[in-house]
Amino acid sequence: MQSGFLPEARRVSCPNWDERPPGALVDLLVIHGISLPPGEFGGPWIEALFRNRLDPGAHPYFQEIAGRRVSAHLLIRRDGELIQYVDLNKRAWHAGESSFKGRRRCNDFSIGIELEGADRIPYEEAQYLMLARATRAIQIRFPAIEPGRIVGHSDVAPGRKTDPGAAFDWGCFHRLLGPSAENGAE
C-alpha cells in the first residue's frame, strides 16, 4: 500500500506511534469510545491527549491521564468528521495490554478507531455511517480484517476496558457494512 492515509480524513500529526514488528499482518480492527472529560463531547481535549498536549489543570480528570502516551489511527467525531492521527501501516498505541484469540499485544496487528462517545450514551447516525465507510476502505487495504475480526476494545481488554460500551449498536454497524458482515460476525 502506497499511502496509509484515508483521503477523506483530516490529518493531525501525533507523536504516539512506532513501527509494527517486521512481518506483522494487520488483521484486526478495534473500535473504541472516548470522551474528554468523561461524558462530554466536542472541544480540543482528545486531540490534545493524542498529541501529548493535555493540560492537567484544565479539568480534574485530566490530572490522571495527562502523562499517558496514547493514540488511535482514526477518530470519528459526533458529527461524523473523520480525523487520522497515525498512518495505518504504523502501530498506534490504542489497545494497551490486550489479546485476541491468544495473541497478545494487539497494537502490533490491529487498527484502532475511536468514536467520540461514552459507554451508555447512544452514538450518532453520522458516526455509524463514517465508521462503515472507513471500515470498508480499511478492509480493501487490509483484506485479512474479516467481519469476525472487528471487535470492541472491551473484547481485547476484558475487565480493563468497557468501550465502545452498551450504547454501541453492533447490529446497525453490521447492517451498514453489508450482508457479509452480518453473517460473518462472531
Helix-strand-coil split of the chain, %, nearest 5: 30, 20, 55
Q: Give the HSE-up count for residue 91: Cα atoms under 13 Å, Cβ half-sphere.
A: 17
Q: What backbone torsions phi and psi does residue 30 show, to the nearest 5 degrees?
A: -110, 125
Q: Read off the amino acid at residue 148.
A: G
Query: How far, in Å, CA of 107 to CA of 111, rounded?
Result: 7
Report residue 180 as a C-alpha cell: 457479509
Query: How far, in Å, CA of 76 to CA of 72, rounded?
Result: 11
Q: Give the HSE-up count for residue 63: Cα atoms under 13 Å, Cβ half-sphere.
A: 3
Given 47, 81, 114, 116, which residue is catalytic?
A: 114
Query: How far, in Å, CA of 164 to CA of 141, rounded?
Result: 24
Q: Is 114 a catalytic residue?
A: yes
For the chain, what is the radius of gyration of the CA atoms? 15
Query: Omega into 7 within 30° of 0, i.e. cis?
Result: no
> Hey, which residues are catalytic here?
114
